[in-house]
Amino acid sequence: MMDSDASRKHLNQTYQGQFILLGVADRPCLEKWLSAVVLICYVMTLFGNTIIITLSQLDPRLHTPMYFFLSILSFLDLCYTTSIGPQILANFWRKQKTISYVACAAQLFISLGLGSTECLLLAAMAYDRYAAVCRPLHYTALMSHSKRYKMAAVSWVTGFTHSLVQTTMTLTLPFCRSNRIDNFFCEVPALLKLVCVDTSVNEAVLLGSSVVILLFPLSLITVSYCYITTAVLRIRSAEGRSKAFSTCASHFTVVFLFYGSAIFSYLQPPSNYSRDQGKMMSLFYTMVAPMLNPLIYTLRNKEVHRALRRVMGRDPTD
């Protein structure tokens, strides 16, 4: 018994030095294909979100609550993909797919904090659209300069507080089963599968906090869009209805993509965590969704198109 305990202690100390991120190392062809996809997604995420942030800062006509939140969302996506993307790409092209314990802890804390913040920020953006469509006469007061900054600050503080709790609870557990993380990066459900003690408390806390971070903001977004839809249908002008729906449809699409994949990954016990589906879903909401966000917000957004032409000095109506 003592030999077993000593061996377990030795294993845990060894695993605290480094982890091995398996990804899809057992399928080299898929790994090469995914490396190209991740690289394209990462470059397009950097390019698209940088454009949105730059335009929101340089064009005075975009100094509105909507583009204030959109620029923060773009900054979050930039940081989110950067905290994970380069490490995933490096692992695709090297034999030793290792990550140190400290780097894993930092990646877990930062990525989970940014992802949680984005969940709450999307709810704030839904409230902004509700105020703009349903209460236009009070919009300036409801979305004043101080209030929008407070909403953003609450999103950041709450998101990283949630991440601190989850990271601390996860990394203080003994990792005795293996040091092989069956994922592309350090994530709570994948790490809990390496623990050699009962994780029911951690799973319960993860489920409860995920409900608060995911389902509660999602319910607020749903209620906001119920009011928005009712208000838009009352607009007599077809052009007015089309403009309102176009603006809100972009945000709703982003919500669907991000929340759908995150809920699939976090609102289920790690014991039921499907090996391949879980990994691909994680890759989707960390690399693909942040790439799509700027495309969704800009492809049909005439204000952004005009702002880009003004910044480039090609808008004849300016």
Angle between helix 65-82 and 101-134 (nearest 10): 160
Tell whether 318 is covered by a domain: no
Kindly state whether residue 19 falls inside one of the protein's structural domains.
Answer: yes
* CATH classification of the domain holding 167: 1.20.1070.10
Which pLDDT belongs to residue 15?
52
Range list of H helices, the chain = 2-15, 28-58, 65-82, 85-92, 101-134, 139-142, 145-171, 188-192, 200-210, 216-233, 238-266, 275-283, 289-298, 302-311
Bridge-based pairing state of the strands 18-21 and 98-100: antiparallel
Say how many Å lie between the first and final Cα of the chain, rounded: 80
pLDDT score of 39:
93
* Each residue's pLDDT tens digit, 202-259: 888 888 888 888 888 889 998 988 888 888 888 777 776 776 677 677 777 888 887 7
Answer whether residue 84 is part of any domain: yes
Contact 298, 251 (CB under 8 A): no
Could you tell me how far CA 128 lies from the centroid of its own chain? 20
Angstrom distance (rounded) from CA 77 to CA 61: 23
Rounded average pLDDT per 10-residue block, the chain, 318 residues: 47 62 78 88 92 87 88 93 90 83 92 92 91 88 92 95 93 82 85 85 85 87 88 76 72 79 66 63 83 77 74 62
Per-residue pLDDT at 165: 92
Domain assignment present for residue 248? The answer is yes
Judge whether 122 and 221 are in contact, CB under 8 Å: yes
Q: What confidence tens digit (pLDDT) does each residue in 260-276 have?
A: 777 776 666 555 555 66
Indicate if the alpha-carbon torsion angle 195, 200, 204, 207 is positive or negative. positive
Quick one: pLDDT at residue 12? Answer: 47
88 domain residue, yes or no: yes
Q: Which of 313, 254, 297 is nearest to 56 (CA)?
A: 297
Domain range for 52 is: 2-311
Q: Give the Cα separation of 282 and 84 in Å (integer).
A: 11
> What sign does the dihedral 212-213-215-216 (CA atoms) show?
positive
What is residue 72's predicted lDDT score, i.e. its pLDDT?
94
Task: Read off the tokens for 8.
Answer: 């377990």
CB atoms within 10 A of CB 45: 25
116 domain-assigned:
yes
CA–CA separation, 75 and 72 (whole Å): 5
> What pLDDT score does 1 carry?
44
Q: Which residues contact residue 18 at a Cβ distance below 8 angstroms, ignoring those fewer than 6 apart?
A: 98, 99, 100, 101, 179
Q: Tokens 């940088």 identify what position?
A: 50
Question: Is the Cα torsion angle 228, 233, 235, 240 positive or negative in sign?
Answer: positive
What is the identity of the amino acid at 112? L
Structure tokens at 104: 């894993």
| Domain count within the chain | 1
